Structure 1
Amino acid sequence: MRSRLMTVLIVMVVLAVAGVGLLNAAGNGPVDPPAPPGTMSSYTLEQIYQRLTTGNYFAKQNGFTEPASGPGTGTMHTLDQIMAQAQPRALAKRVAKTGQTQCWDAAGALIPCAGTGQDGQYQAGIEPAVVAIFGTAYNTPAWTGVRFTDNGDGTVTDNLTALIWLKNANCFGTRLWATALTDANALASGSCGLSDGSIAGGWRLPNANEMHSLIDLTQSNPALPAGHPFTGVQVNLYWTSTTVDYHTSGVVVVALSDGAPVGAEKGGIVYVWPVRGGQ
């Protein structure tokens, strides 16, 4: 019994030092340590929280000095290392929904959304919804730091939105809209230069706001951020999964020449750029 009690006490001490919330003696809820355990080579939960809520993991709070190494010897990580892992999760779903909840076929007839790969099926993004307006910009959040990370496996992570894009922006060439939806959903590791372990069903055609989130209106031909790592980018139109709701045989497409969202008939031939994540 004494051995078991000692084990419980040791576990509680370890959890407390690690910053895991424990009820205080009065039962008033979790208590964050007032100071980091150890020396400057540690940090409190509050400091981690403040870094997560800046919206930019490169930012540091005033008065905080990032330790050169983690606490202990090889047993912990610096806050920069933790944030590098947490950032995609903290910023996930930063692109607004379009608000589209229904789906239509190529002729514009209303159909069930299941299995279509359309915007109305995934409804990806955050509230409040922002409807794509032709000829204007979707306002992506402000960002400083390294915008894109080339993952070396045929994918590129957008550090602003946490969306993962196919690095090759011209793997499929031009397609009908219905074919583009199918091809994007069928994409998997082993195709289009991918070695990321992704499987069919993990990729999709981006919605209008996701596609436009790549756009940098200070650039043109293509209207993408300077220094982007993508290959095969076409200065042309790219499909989205978002139907024009007042003209349901049409789709929102994004022009990579100047970044404008415009309309195109579903029977047209347009380029395909798959995305995953952001759910």
Structure 2
Amino acid sequence: VNFADGRIKAYPKTGNATSSVYYARFVRGGDGYGDSTFTDGGDGTVTDDATGLVWMQVDSGDEQVADAVAATSRADGTLDWQEALAFCADLSYAGVDDWRLPDAKELQGLVDYSRSPDTTGSAAIDPVFATTPITDEGGADGFGAYWTSTSFSPGLDAYIVNFGEALGLVGGEYVDAHGAGSVRTDPKQGEPQEGAGPQGDIRRVYDFARCVRDDGAGGGAPSPL
């Protein structure tokens, strides 16, 4: 975790001593903190029993919500930031219309770090959720990033959560620069750029959305960021 900017990424456990030695912040107690269990509502929603948040089981790339994205600039479920905000705010889904785009802490709480394209051949999220597959910039099958409502100072970017590989363009090759589950930033608008972000990040600009609403039993500890 980079506490200077809130980004989360992965590093090798061992390797170059100049780049693999970092500070540590230790904690004790709180067994089970951040462990989420999910309840399938059977109506296209999933409730996080730890937080009480109710999530769309599908994302903006699913055919169930195709009409809601038909008028956007890409019409394939990928949205710029303003489109993602509007998609959730205007969405009528599962019989309710009070959806919103989650903030960075809420969305990162869905990450399952025991899953990844490399280890399980899946997105880094509980399989109760449907995740739209993509073909990435390198031509490989994978999973995309998702917008949050949280802006990154000074406000031209917003935080995204990568549920698939977080690609960078390094030395002319596509690499998983940060790992599934990483929290990065994307420009809120503009054109996609390859290698323009930190560590050669691919900046897609158009990402998916998974909306959330504040209605559930909850009562547990909040998901961590």
TM-score class, shorter-chain normalisation, is 0.5 to 0.7
How big is the shift at 1:237? 0.8
Identical aligned pairs, as a percentage?
Answer: 31
Q: Distance in 2 between matches of 1:224 and 1:243?
A: 23
How big is the shift at 1:217? 1.5
2:56 counterpart residue number: 166
1:229 counterpart residue number: 128
Amino acid at match of 1:186: D
Count of matched residue pairs: 136
1:58-69 equivalent positions in 2, closer than 5 A: none
Amino acid at match of 1:162: G
Q: Distance in 1 between matches of 2:9 and 2:42?
A: 33
Amino acid at match of 2:152: V
Q: Distance in 2 between matches of 1:160 and 1:220?
A: 22
Q: Which has the larger radius of gyration?
A: 1
2:106 counterpart residue number: 210
1:101 counterpart residue number: none
Describe the SS at the equivalent of 1:262. strand
Q: Which has the higher helix share?
A: 1
Describe the SS at the equivalent of 1:156. strand
Contact 1:237–1:256 (8 Å) recurs in 2: yes
Q: Distance in 2 between matches of 1:233 and 1:175?
A: 13
Q: TM-score scaled by structure 1? A: 0.44
How big is the shift at 1:131? 9.2
Change over 3 Å in CA distance of 1:205–1:131 after alignment to 2: farther
1:198 counterpart residue number: 96
Identify the match of residue 148 of structure 2 among 216, 231, 240. 240
Instruction: Choose between structure 1 and 2 for higher RCO, CA contacts under 8 A separated by at least 6 residues.
Output: 2
Please list every run of 5 or more consecutive structure 1 residues that lacks an aligned counterpart in the other structure: 1-129
Change over 3 Å in CA distance of 1:256–1:132 after alignment to 2: farther
Amino acid at match of 2:186: A
1:124 counterpart residue number: none
Q: Which aligned runs of 4 or more in structure 1 are off by greater than 6 angstroms?
A: none
Q: Distance in 1 between matches of 2:4 and 2:215?
A: 17
Please list every run of 5 or more consecutive structure 2 residues that lacks an aligned counterpart in the other structure: 11-31, 63-68, 70-76, 118-122, 134-142, 165-179, 190-204, 217-225
Q: Which has the higher strand share?
A: 2
Counterpart check, 1:135 vs 2:31: no
Q: TM-score scaled by structure 2? A: 0.54
Q: Distance in 1 between matches of 2:7 and 2:182?
A: 7
1:251 counterpart residue number: 158
2:41 counterpart residue number: 151
> Over residues 256-277 of structure 1, what are the superposed CA-to-partner deviations in whole Å (9 max), with x where a residue is unaligned?
0110000100012111111111
How big is the shift at 1:160? 2.0
